[in-house]
Structure 1
Amino acid sequence: MTTIDSLILDVPDAAAAEAFYTAAFTQSGLNGRLRVRQAAPGDGAASTATSGFRGYTLSITVFQPATVHAFIDAAVAAGATVLKPVSKSLWGVGGSIQAPDGAIWKVATTAKKNTDPGDRRIDKIVLLIGADDVAASKAFYGQQGLPVGKSFGKYVEFAMPESPVKLGLYSRKALAKDAGVAPEGSGSHRLAIMGDAGAFTDPDGFAWEASVTASA
C-alpha cells in the first residue's frame, strides 16, 4: 500500500527554516517527517518563482486544546504569521499560521477540554492538496495505489493506515478559505512528497520523489 515517508520543503534559507521548525514544532514532535532543502540560486524549486496560495496546507492533529495553543504560540514566537487565531468550533479547536518560508500550517484537535497539562505530542501529520478538479485528482491517485478512505463533497481522505504522513484532497477554493488566505496563486509549490510510489507529478503539479527507504 502506498505510503508517504516524509515531506520536503524547498526554502530560500535552509538554516533559518530548520531553526523555525525546531522552535515551532520540535524535531522530536515531527519525527523526521519534515525536511527542508535549499537550491543554489537559479537552480531548482527553492528559487523558482511562486506567488499567493501554493495550493496545499500541512495539518497537525494533536491531543488537546492546550497543545494547539502551545504549538501556535511557539510558531508565532519563532516568526510565523497568524492566519486564523486559535478558536473553538463544532468539531474542536484549531488555528492556522504561515511559516516564514511561506508554508501554511494548521494545528487542531477534536478535543474540547484539556486532560494532560504536559502533553505536547503530535498525533497525525496530514498533507491536504487543494485540487482544481477533485474528481480527477481522486481518480489519478487511485491509479497510484491510494484507496479512498472517506469522500464527501469536495473532500477526499485516502486510506493510508501505515503511512507516517496522511494525504487528502480538498477543492482549492475551500482549502484556501479554511486556511484563511485567498485562493489565487501560481508558480512552484515548493514541496516534494517522498513516498514508495515512485517519481511522478500529479494533476495539480505536486511532485512525488522516491524515498530513500523505497529506493534502497
Structure 2
Amino acid sequence: MATTASSAVTASLTSVTLEVADPDAAHRFYSAFGVDTRIHLRASETPSSGFRGFALALTVSGPATVDAFVDAAVAAGATVLKPAAKSMWGYGGVVQAPDGTIWKVATSAKKDNGPATREIDETVLLLGVADVKATKEFYVGQGLTVARSFGGKYTEFAAGPSSPVKLALYKHRGLAKDLGVAADGSGSHRIALGGTGSAFTDPDGFVWEA
C-alpha cells in the first residue's frame, strides 16, 4: 500500500550534474534532445563501466510526444535500449545518450489527445539502490520529505518549488530490468546531485554537493 506525506519540504534536490568526457558534444546532444535546461554538465574522465545505477525519466502528455523525444534523441546520436511501445502502464521507450546516461520517456496515456509537442510534464531522477526502505530513511534524515512510498519497491520525494527534477528511489535490479540493461556496473556513477542541505554521500555512493 502506498503512503504519502504532506509536510512542507525542508530539503530537496536542486540540480543534477552529469559528468561527461566531452561537455561540448554532450551539450549539443541534450540541446537537440530538449532537456538541456534541466541538467548541468561538467568534464570528467573518471572510469565507469556497465550500469551506473540511475536513470532520468521524462513524463510527457501522450504517445506522439514520447516518439518525438525518442526520435530526437536517436537523431542526435542516442542508442535505443527499449523501443517505444505500449505497456500496461501506458506508452514509453528507453534510450542511452552518447555520454552513457540512460533516459526513459513515458506517458500514462495510451492514445493521443492532440499533436506531438516538445513539452515535458515532469523529470524524475531514478536512483537504483540496494535497500529502498533504508535509503528512504537516510534521506528523510537529511531533511527530504516523502511524497509517495510503495514499501521496499519505490519511494518518491517532494520536489522543491524551483527544482526542475524530482528524486525517486527504485530497487537497483528492478530499475536495470525496467531499463533493459544488465544490473552490473563498476566505477563512478558519473553524476553529482545538488541540494539545499549540506554535502553528503548516500548509502549507494551517490554524491550530493551543497
- Give the TM-score normalised by structure 1: 0.88
Q: CA deviation at 1:128?
A: 0.6
Equivalent position to 2:129, from 115, 128, 131: 131
- Measured after TM superposition, the shift of residue 3 of structure 1 is 2.2
Query: Which residue is equivalent to 2:166?
Result: 166
1:26: Cα distance to partner?
A: 5.0
Instruction: Output the CA distance in 2 between the equivalents of 1:121 and 1:3.
Output: 23
Q: Which has the higher helix share?
A: 1
Partner letter of residue 204 of structure 2?
Answer: D
Q: Aligned-pair distance for 1:178? A: 0.5
Q: Give me the whole-angstrom Cα distance separating, in 2, the residues matched to 1:103 and 1:64.
A: 23
Partner AA of 2:153 in structure 1: K
| Contact in 1 for aligned 2:68/2:117 (Cα 8 Å) | no
**1:106 is aligned to 2:111:** no
Task: Tell me the CA shift for residue 164 of structure 1.
Answer: 2.6
CA-to-aligned-CA distance 1:171-202 (integer Å, 9 cap, x gap): 10000000110000011001011121221111
Give the match for residue 35 of structure 1: 40
| Alignment of structure 1 residues 78-157 onto 2, 5 Å | 78-152=76-150, 153-157=152-156
Count of paired positions: 199
Per the TM alignment, residue 5 of structure 1 is displaced from its structure 2 partner at its CA by: 2.0
User: C-alpha distance in 2, partners of 1:137/1:129?
Assistant: 10
Q: Is 155-164 or 174-183 further displaced after alignment?
A: 155-164
Please identify, of 159-168 and 125-134, the stretch whose mean Cα deviation from structure 2 is larger: 159-168
Listed as ranges, the gaps of 5+ residues in structure 1 are 39-45, 211-216
Question: CA offsets per residue over residues 132-188 of structure 1, 9 Å max, x none?
Answer: 121221110010111222222421111236343111111100000001100000110
Gaps of 5+ in 2: 1-9
Give yes or no for contact 2:60–2:121 (8 Å, CA) kept in 1: yes
SS at match of 1:22: helix
Segments ≥4 residues shifted beyond 2 Å: 159-164
CA distance in 2, matches of 1:118, 1:182: 32
User: Residue 13 of structure 2 contacts residue 160 of structure 2 at CA under 8 Å; is this kept in 1?
Assistant: no
- Counterpart mapping for 1:4-15 below 5 A: 4-15=13-24
Decide whether the 8 Å contact of 2:33 with 2:76 is kept in 1.
yes
Q: 3-state DSSP class of the match of 1:122?
A: coil
Matches of 2:30 and 2:164 in 1, distance apart? 18
Match of 2:121, SS? strand
Could you say what the CA RMSD is over the residues aligned between the two structures, in angstroms?
A: 1.3
Q: In structure 1, how many angstroms separate the alpha carbons of the residues matched to 2:33 and 2:156?
A: 26
Inter-partner Cα distance in structure 1 for 2:95 and 2:176: 12
Q: Structure 2 length as normaliser, TM-score?
A: 0.91
How far apart are 1:33 and its partner, in Å?
A: 2.2
Q: Tell me the CA shift for residue 83 of structure 1.
A: 0.4
Counting aligned pairs with the same residue, the percent is 59
Secondary structure at 2:140 match in 1? helix
Residue 72 of structure 1 corresponds to which residue in structure 2? 70
Contact 1:5 1:33 in 2 (8 A): no
Distance in 2 of aligned mates of 1:181 and 1:197: 33
Choose between structure 1 and 2 for higher RCO, CA contacts under 8 A separated by at least 6 residues.
2
1:92 and 1:182 map into 2 onto residues whose CA distance is: 24
